Amino acid sequence: MLVSAPAQMAEDKLQKIVASLKERLLKHKLKKELNKNRSLIEVAERLNCQYFAGKLKINSIVYTTNQNSRYGTCNFRDGRILLSHRLAAMPDWVRDL
């Protein structure tokens, strides 16, 4: 990562900005890697059939890196499900409960 900054910027402020940028880039990369695998929609469809007789409308289901106090959320109006990236590190049976 190459960062350009004004010469008069204080070193501590620059280090905080660089750390923040690095964290954002790493989260973006993690989110992209986790969502490469399309098995989430397959699991969602299977669970929809198993527990809801296929009645749920699921338009998208993806991992997100900005949910730190919840494991997931859903929007029933647009059929979108967001799962915390923390679930990806857990066994599948935890995610699928």
pLDDT tens-digit readout, 38-89? 678 888 888 899 999 999 889 988 888 888 888 899 998 899 999 888 888 8
Structure tokens at 56: 């749920």
How far is the C-alpha of 56 from the C-alpha of 47, rounded, in Å?
10
Q: What is the pTM of this model?
A: 0.61
What residues contact residue 17 under an 8 Å CB cut-off, 6+ apart?
3, 5
